[in-house]
Chain A
Amino acid sequence: MTNDLDALESQSIFILREAFNRIDKIAMLWSIGKDSNVLLWLTRKAFFGHVPFPIVHVDTSYKIPEMIEFRDRVAREWKLPLIVGGNKAALDGGMHPSRGRVTCCGALKTEPLKQIIREHGFTGVIVGIRRDEEGTRAKERVFSPRTEAAEWDFKDQPPEFWDQFKTDFAPGTHLRIHPLLHWGELDVWRYIERENIPVVDLYFARNGRRYRSLGCAPCTGTVESNATTVAEIIEELQTTRVSERAGRAQDKESEDAFERLRAQGYM
C-alpha cells in the first residue's frame, strides 16, 4: 500500500464490491454533497468505469438550486442510472422546516427514501456517511440492518469484525451500506484534490463565507472562510476547530434530535 488515501480507497472498493456481490437489489444514495460524489467516483473505480446499480436522489424541493444543476450535469456526463424521489403529498400539504426541522426532515427525506426502497424492492442502500461527522454515526456498522419500518436498532447492532459483514438477514429487513464510514472530512477533500473529483461551487468561499456541509437551503448555513480552492479548503481544515455540521440546523433542535432522526431511518 503506497499511502493512506490508497488504503482508504481500497477499503471502500472492497465494501462496494461486497455489497454488489452479496445483496440482491442495491441502490446508492446521492445527496450531491462532496461525500457522495467521492462515493460515486469510488464506484466507478470498483467496477472499472461502470455504475452497476441505480443512483437515488431524494429531492426535498428546498435544495439550493446550484445543487440540482450540478446533479443534472454530472448525471448526464457520467451516464448515471438516476432515480429522483420526493414527497409530493407532504409538499402539497405545506411541509416546511417551520413545522419543526426534525418533522420536516422525516417527511421530505426519510419518507420518500422509504417509499423508493419499497417501490423498487431494494434490499440494500449505499450511503456516504462518515463516523467523524457526528456521535451516533461514530457508532455505525459498515453493513447496518434496518427493520421493515426502516428503523435503526442502535442498541443491539450486529457484531462486525475482520471485514466479515452481516449479509444474511430476515425477509422484509434491509441494509444500509456505508463504504465511507472510516474516512475523515480532511481525507475526503485530499482525495477530491488528488483525483480531481467535481464538487458543487457552494463549497468555495464567496464574500468570506462558504458551505462546509450541504443540505436544504432553509436549514443549512455557511461558515466563515476564505478558502476558494480545494487546496485552500484542505489548508483550512488542518487548523479549524469548528465542527463540520456546525451549519446544519436540524441537528441542534434538542440533545437527541439527530439520534431520533436516524433511529427513524434518516441517513
Chain B
Amino acid sequence: MNAFTRESAFRIVIVGHVDHGKSTLVGRLLHETGTLPVGKVESLRKVCEKRGMPFEWAFVMDALQAERDQGITIDTAQILFHTDRRPYVIIDAPGHKEFLKNMITGAASADAAVLVIDAIEGVQEQSRRHGYLLHLLGLRQLAVVVNKMDAVGYAQDRFEEVATEIRAYLADIGVTPTQVIPAAARHGDNIVAQSGKMPWYHGPTVTQVLDGFAPRVESTSLPLRFPVQDVFKFDHRRIVAGRVESGRIRVGDRLLFSPSGKTARVSSIETWNAPAAPSSAGAGQSIGIMLDEQVFIERGQIASHVEDAPVGTDVFRARLFWLGRAPLSVGRRYKMKLVTAEHWVTVEAIERVIDVNDLAAVPTEWVERNAVAEVVFRSRGQVALDEFVDDPKTGRFVLVDNFDIVGGGVISMAGFPDRRCRPDSADNDLTAVAHQVTTADRNRANGHASGILWLTGLSGSGKSTIAMELERRLFAKGRQVFVLDGDNVRQGLCADLGFSAEDRAENIRRVGEVAHLFAQSGMIVIAAFISPYRADRDRVRAIAPGLFHEIHVKAPLELCQRRDPKGLYLKARQGAIAEFTGVSAPYEPPLRPELEIDTGRLSIEESVDLIMRYIDRESVRGEAVGMAHPDVSL
C-alpha cells in the first residue's frame, strides 16, 4: 500500500432505541475484526469482574464511569477500524431520548447508518425518531440490525415481524433499508461470519453490508459554493480564505459574492510549502485565493459563479429538529449560522410539528425539546442560501440561543421567490431622465396631486370591486385616475409570467414600476393586486417614496372562499391551480398599512367611503394623494 494514497475512512453511525444493543454491537464488531489492542478485552474482563457483572462488550465504547455505572451510552464516541475492503470510523450514538443532541452530533457526519432494533422489544419510539432524523439529516444509506436474536430462540417468525414493522415505517418516510439483518451481537452471530444458528437467513452479515455501502462522493459536480471564512492580511497579500463546500473554483473565474452582490476575478490560489501553485480547487478543500480587484469582502459572504448564484431571500421554510431547553415559539429571535454566515432570524410561523411515531402533523404554537417541526423564518436582511435538495452544505443551518446551539434545520423555498434573479437597481451607465415638466407642474394643471393606492389582499377579498367603484367616484370628482389590475397587466405587460413565486414577484415589480411612472405623470393609480409578499410591496414603497399608500383589503379566508368570484378557490382545492395564495401559497399581511378595510364587515359603499375620507385627510396634511400643492385644492 502506498502510504500517501488511501481511501478516506467511511463513516458509519450506529443508532437505535436505548438498550437495544448498539454499543455491544460496536464492541463485538471491533473484536471480531481484530481492531482492539492487545490486552483490551482482558482489562475489560477485569473491570467487569471488579464490578461483579458478566462481561460487557459495550464497555469498549462506554468509557465514562457514569456510562458503566448506569449501563447506558451518554455521549457519542468514534473509533477507527477496518475491514479488508476499507477503513471505517464507527460512530456510536446514544439511544436515550435525553441525549438526542449527542445522537445528532454523531449521526450528522456519517456516510451511512445502522439502525439496531431489539428482537424482543421490536420497533420503539427512538427507533422511529432516529430513523426519521437520519432522513432529515440527508442520510440515504441505512441498514437495520434486528439484535438479540438469541433471546427469541433465533426464531424466523419474530425476525420477520420486526423486519416488516420497521420496513413499513421507513417506507412512510421514503427510506428503503439496504438490508435487514438478524443478529446476536453478544455472541457474534452474523456480525462478521454467517451464523450457524439462523440457517434460514441467507443475506449478508453486518460487515458485508458495511462493505457494500456506496462510497461518499464529494459534491464537485454541484455549482460552486465558497463561503468566506476569513480575510488574511499577514504580509503584502490579501488572501480570502475558506473551504470550497461544493463545485470547483479555478484561477480566472469571475466570482459573485452573495448577498453583497460584489464581483471579482480569481487571480491566484495561494499555498504554503507547495511545489506548484494550483490552478483549481474542488469541494472539501480549504484554500486561500487572491482577487484581481480590491472589493470589500468579509466573512459570511458566499462566493459562486455569476451564472449559478445561491438564492437570495429574507424568508425561508425549514424542517428542523429542536434541542433547546426552552421551546421554540412564534416571534422568538435566534442567531442563525449557515456555513460561515450569521444572521438574526425570527420565527414567523410554526406550520406543523411532526409526531415521529405516527408521522401525524400537529398544529401548535410551540416546538418542544427533541421535536421535529416545519417552521417559517424571516431574517432582517437578505440571506444567501440554497434549498437542501439542491446543495446540502449551503441548504442547512443551526440556531443559537444565548450561548448554545439549540437546533438545526434544512431549507426549502417552496412558496417563496428567489429575490436575487431580478436586478434591484438600474445599470450604472443610465442617467435619470430630465423632464422639463415636473410632477408638481402636472399636479397644478390637474388641480390635484398624484399617488399610488395599493390594494393588497386575498383573492375574493373585494380589491377589484372596490378599485372600480373608487375609480368611478374619483373620476366623477374630476380626478385623473386609472386602475391597474391583475387581469389588465397579465394580458400584455406581464403575459410572459406565470404564477410561480418568482414570477409573482416579477409581476409586482413591473406593476410597481409602471404605477410609479403613472404617478409621476400626475395620475392617481389604483393598483389592485393580491401581491402576497411583503418584500415586493416594500420595494414598490421604496421606489415611490411618499407616493405609495398601502391599503390592506381584509376578509376572512372562509368568506373569500365562499365568495370565490372567479371560481379559483374551487380549482385550487381540486388541485388544478398550484401555489394558490391562502390555500397552497403564503399571504404575508402588511405590518403597518396606511389603511385597513375589513370587507367582512363593510359594504362596498362603506369601504370606498373610507378610502375617500383617507384621501381627503391626506390632502389636508398636504401630502401625497390629492395632496399637494399649497395652491391646489382637491
Contacts and interface: CB of A to CB of B under 8 A. Distances in A.
Interface of A: 1, 3-11, 13-14, 17-18, 20-21, 44-50, 52, 131-132, 134-136, 138-139, 141, 154-155, 157-162, 164, 166, 168-170, 182, 184, 190, 193-195, 231, 234, 238, 241-243, 246, 255-256, 259
A194 to B, nearest CB: 5
B272 A45 contact: yes
Interface in B238-266: 239, 241, 243
Interface string B402-434: 111100100000000000000000000000000
B207 interface: no
Contacts of A190: 3-4, 6
B505 interface: no
A139 B3 contact: no
Contacts of B34: 241
Interface stretch (B277-285, B378-386, B530-538, B603-611): B277-285
B299 interface: yes
Given A10-B284, A161-B408, A242-B38, A17 B3 contact: no
Closest 5 A-B residue pairs measured CB to CB?
Answer: A135-B63, A161-B108, A243-B37, A159-B101, A13-B286
B3 A48 contact: no
A41 to B, nearest CB: 9
Contacts of A132: 79-80
B410 to A, nearest CB: 10
Contact of B105 (A6, A18, A159): A159
Q: How large is the interface on B (under 10, 10 to 19, 20 to 34, 35 or more residues)?
A: 35 or more
19 contacts: A4-B6, A10-B286, A21-B230, A48-B232, A49-B273, A131-B79, A155-B75, A159-B102, A159-B104, A160-B405, A161-B108, A161-B109, A164-B408, A166-B404, A166-B405, A190-B3, A190-B6, A241-B34, A259-B64
Nearest to A4: B8
B285 A10 contact: yes
B167 interface: no
B80 A184 contact: yes
Contacts of B109: 161
A139 B108 contact: no
A234 B3 contact: yes
Given A14-B229, A18-B229, A241-B34, A48 B288 contact: yes
B620 interface: no
Nearest to A170: B403
Contacts of A134: 63
B40 to A, nearest CB: 7
Nearest to A260: B65
B47 interface: yes
B218 A1 contact: yes
A255 B4 contact: no
B3 A169 contact: no
A194 B108 contact: no
Contact of B102 (A7, A8, A157, A246): A157
A4 B284 contact: no
Contacts of B104: 159, 161
Contact of B285 (A6, A164, A184, A194): A6
Interface in B202-244: 218, 229-230, 232, 234-235, 237, 239, 241, 243
Contacts of B574: none
A168 B232 CA distance: 22
Interface in B46-77: 47, 50, 61, 63-66, 74-77
B321 to A, nearest CB: 10
Contacts of B5: 3-4
Given A134-B63, A164-B408, A243-B40, 11 more contacts: A3-B5, A11-B286, A155-B74, A158-B101, A161-B105, A162-B396, A169-B403, A184-B80, A193-B4, A242-B38, A243-B38
B232 to A, nearest CB: 7
A4 B7 contact: yes
Contacts of A6: 285
B75 A21 contact: no
A1 B102 contact: no
A152 B28 CA distance: 29
Contacts of A243: 37-40
A3 B229 CA distance: 23
Nearest to A194: B4
A4 B2 CA distance: 12
Nearest to B284: A1
B65 A246 contact: no
Contacts of A135: 61, 63-64, 77
B65 A255 contact: yes
Contact of A17 (B9, B230, B270, B397): B230
A92 B270 CA distance: 50
A241 B408 contact: no
A166 B402 CA distance: 11
Contact of B337 (A158, A164, A169, A238): A164
A3 B7 CA distance: 7
B37 A242 contact: yes
Among B234, B243, B286, B397, residue most surrounded by chain A Cβ atoms (within 10 Å): B286
Contacts of B36: 241
B572 interface: no
A52 B232 CA distance: 11
